């Protein structure tokens, strides 16, 4: 059974009106456990909409989406929250850390929503920050860290719950090339440890870190193939 | 949602917006302070009143008989003694002004014709010696108990016990001295001389004893005594006039109703400012939700349920309001002290524990009530839209 299975997925904004937008127009694909998939596309191609739906932040207009065999397209707000809490970690372009919380507190937050006890979540969050190389920045506020460090805090937050799926939406969009490389290496390392990673990007070069690239244009998949590097056995 | 976490977030957010938080709290502070001060002052009046009344004795029934010149003292006494479950003590309370003499000194005093229980019924304490006895009353012995003012006038520093004074030319032996009453009306209550009421024929031209005081065991008993005595007189006289039965408790009940009404009106008016304060909280929470739309989006994307978001904002508005409430309690206590000092002579006025706890609890509820709309709105935000906000 594939981990993610979408079939004929549509997302239509303002249906029936003059400014109707078909962000997704019949997308079908499958993603297996442990894959590292890049979803490539220009702005307006529908890649963000796809990530929102795959990340259970949004529901499709029609079509089916099975996550680990469970249909999720008709779930309630609370049920989607639960799936996000248990199955998915997000890494955003803008880091999306809460500015009043320290690195440690930010990383603890998903564990708080899992009703984990204070001591346990502190330990797990500390470990997650150590894994991304920020063991010495636990008590720093986001404003006291560089962009690369903030993104690593965001990654620590995403992996603190050990989710089977990581969703990364332009994770290096705000970073210099050195930090970008570090972040991508971190993602690749996580993938090697078994986490399924879905990378949303407009950057063909970044997509090269993934083993498989799905290219979107105008809400449709125009290509879906193993990455060149992967073909050469480099990944 | 972890309450401790939400609480520390709330404190953080209040501290990060100090000026705004204090301005928002101001409504609650003023409202709580107003309610507390008003209620405490009203309770002060009540305390002062009860204190004055209880100096006269509480749960007391006064009985007057004015139908004719008959001497009904025996009948009334027997009637009262027949219901010991209600009556703690009873005494005639007839008084007349006579001159009391000791050697060359004299003073016009109130001579009270009472029973051996006069001190109990009218709330006097014995300083020296004792009250005269039941046997003194039965035998119409010529003994007396004198008040402080009379004692000072006649005896100065001399020990009056066992000495003889002259009333209307008759000799009375002093057996006891009363403690000072120290009431507001000069020495009226201290310039007295109590004699067994059976001396009425000896001292008074008009011998009938028509005034009585009955000390009830408690407030409920006063009602029963009033009913019983009314029945007694109706039976005795065959009509329902010619006597008068009265208890302070009746007046106290009326007075308490008035006080309760005043509290309600005063508290209600002050309560309006609390509602205004609550609306202030709602307003600032709406601003806070708008400002933190992105934070809400982040929280939802990492697994927060609607309930988690609602409880976070409710705890925040409750905490904000509680802080205001606590400051309001302090201010209210201060104002109560100041006003209490100005209004009452020797009553230290402070809010009761009940009011303090009530005000604190009410602030939390108020904050949560007015915080619910913003919190609910926050929880309904779509995570994608919320994340898109810069």
B75-129 residue pLDDT tens: 888 888 899 999 999 999 988 899 999 988 999 999 999 999 999 888 899 999 9
Report whether pLDDT(A36) > 60. Answer: yes
Q: Of B298, B305, B292, which Cα lies nearest the Cα of B387?
A: B298
Report whether pLDDT(B185) > 80. Answer: no
Report whether pLDDT(A231) > 70. Answer: no
Report whether pLDDT(B260) > 80. Answer: yes
Is A52 in contact with B384 (Cβ distance < 8 A)? yes
For residues B364 and B361, give the distance between their C-alpha atoms in angstroms, rounded to a whole number: 5
Task: List Cβ neighbours of B17 (8 Å cut-off, separation of 6 or more).
Answer: none
B362-371 residue pLDDT tens: 999 999 999 9
Q: Which one of B5, B295, B298 has the shortest CB-CB distance to A112?
A: B5
- Complex ipTM value: 0.89
For residues B323 and B313, give the distance between their C-alpha atoms in angstroms, rounded to a whole number: 15
Q: Of B311, B320, B313, B321, which Cα lies nearest the Cα of B275?
A: B321
Q: How many CA atoms lie within 13 A of A220 on its CB side?
A: 4
Residue B50 near residue B289 (C-beta atoms within 8 A): no
- A20-48 mean pLDDT: 91
SS3 A90: strand
Residue B306 near residue B376 (C-beta atoms within 8 A): no
Is A113 in contact with B301 (Cβ distance < 8 A)? no
Min Cα distance A50 → chain B (Å) is 12
Enumerate residues 283 to 322 of chain B having a beta carbon within 8 A of any beta carbon in chain A.
Answer: 294-295, 297-308
Report whether pLDDT(B390) > 80. Answer: no
Q: Which residues of A touch B299 (CB under 8 A)?
A: 98, 109, 113
pTM: 0.71
Is B308 in contact with A85 (Cβ distance < 8 A)? no
Q: Which one of B16, B303, B306 has the shortest CB-CB distance to A110?
A: B303
Is A112 in contact with B2 (Cβ distance < 8 A)? yes
Is A78 in contact with B308 (Cβ distance < 8 A)? no
- A55-84 mean pLDDT: 88
Is A161 in contact with B303 (Cβ distance < 8 A)? yes
Report whether pLDDT(B2) > 80. Answer: no
Over pLDDT 90: what percentage of chain B? 44
Residue A198 near residue A167 (C-beta atoms within 8 A): yes
């Amino acid at each position: 059974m594939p981990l993610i299975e979408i079939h004929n997925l549509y997302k239509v904004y303002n249906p029936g009106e003059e400014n109707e937008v078909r962000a997704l127009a019949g997308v079908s694909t499958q993603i297996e456990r442990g894959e590292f998939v890049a979803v490539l596309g220009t702005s307006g191609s529908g890649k963000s909409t796809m990530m929102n739906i795959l990340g259970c932040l949004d529901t499709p207009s029609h079509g089916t989406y099975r996550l680990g065999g469970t249909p999720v397209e008709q779930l309630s707000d609370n049920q989607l929250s639960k799936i996000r809490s248990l199955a998915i970690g997000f890494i955003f372009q803008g880091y999306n850390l809460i500015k009043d919380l320290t690195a440690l507190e930010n990383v603890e937050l998903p564990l708080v929503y899992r009703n984990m006890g204070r001591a346990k979540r502190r330990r797990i969050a500390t470990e997650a920050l150590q894994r991304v190389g920020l063991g010495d920045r636990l008590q720093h506020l986001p404003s006291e860290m560089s962009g690369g460090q903030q993104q690593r805090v965001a990654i620590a937050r995403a992996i603190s719950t050990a989710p089977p799926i990581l969703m990364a939406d332009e994770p290096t969009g705000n970073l210099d090339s050195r930090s970008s490389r570090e972040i991508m290496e971190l993602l690749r390392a996580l993938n090697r440890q078994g986490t399924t990673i879905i990378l949303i990007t407009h950057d063909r070069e970044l997509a090269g870190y993934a083993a498989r690239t799905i290219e979107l244009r105008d809400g449709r998949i125009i290509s879906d193939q193993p990455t060149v590097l992967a073909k050469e056995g480099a990944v | 949602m972890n309450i401790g976490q939400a609480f520390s977030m709330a404190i953080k957010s209040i501290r990060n917006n100090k000026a705004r938080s204090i301005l928002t709290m101001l409504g609650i502070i003023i409202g709580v302070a107003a309610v507390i001060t008003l209620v405490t002052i009203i309770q002060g009046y009540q305390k002062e009143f009860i204190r004055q009344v209880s100096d006269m004795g509480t749960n007391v029934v006064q009985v007057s008989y004015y139908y004719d010149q008959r001497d009904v003292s025996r009948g009334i006494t027997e009637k009262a003694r027949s219901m010991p479950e209600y009556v703690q003590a009873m005494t005639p309370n007839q008084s007349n002004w006579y001159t009391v003499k000791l050697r060359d000194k004299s003073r016009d005093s109130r001579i009270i014709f009472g029973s051996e229980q006069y001190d109990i019924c009218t709330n006097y304490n014995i300083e020296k010696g004792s009250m005269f006895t039941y046997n003194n009353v039965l035998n119409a012995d010529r003994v007396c108990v004198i008040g402080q003012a009379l004692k000072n006038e006649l005896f100065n520093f001399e020990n009056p016990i066992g000495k003889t004074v002259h009333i209307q030319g008759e000799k009375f032996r002093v057996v006891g001295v009363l403690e000072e009453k120290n009431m507001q009306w000069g020495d009226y209550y201290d310039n007295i001389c109590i004699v067994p009421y059976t001396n009425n024929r000896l001292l008074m031209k008009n011998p009938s004893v028509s005034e009585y005081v009955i000390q009830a065991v408690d407030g409920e008993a006063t009602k029963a005594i009033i009913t019983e005595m009314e029945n007694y007189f109706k039976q005795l006289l065959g009509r329902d006039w010619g006597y008068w039965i009265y208890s302070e408790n009746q007046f106290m009940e009326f007075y308490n109703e008035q006080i309760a009404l005043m509290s309600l009106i005063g508290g209600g008016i002050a309560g309006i400012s609390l509602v205004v304060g609550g609306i202030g909280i709602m307003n600032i929470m709406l601003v806070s939700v708008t400002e933190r739309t992105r934070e809400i989006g982040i929280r939802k994307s990492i697994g927060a349920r609607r309930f988690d978001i609602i409880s976070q904002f409710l705890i925040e508005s409750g905490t904000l309001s509680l802080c205001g409430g606590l400051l309001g309690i302090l201010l209210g206590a201060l104002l109560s002290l100041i006003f209490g000092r100005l209004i009452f002579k020797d009553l230290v006025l402070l809010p009761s524990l009940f009011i303090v706890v009530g005000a604190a609890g009410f602030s939390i509820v108020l904050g949560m009530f007015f915080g619910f709309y913003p919190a609910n709105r926050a929880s309904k935000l779509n995570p994608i839209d919320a994340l898109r906000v810069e």
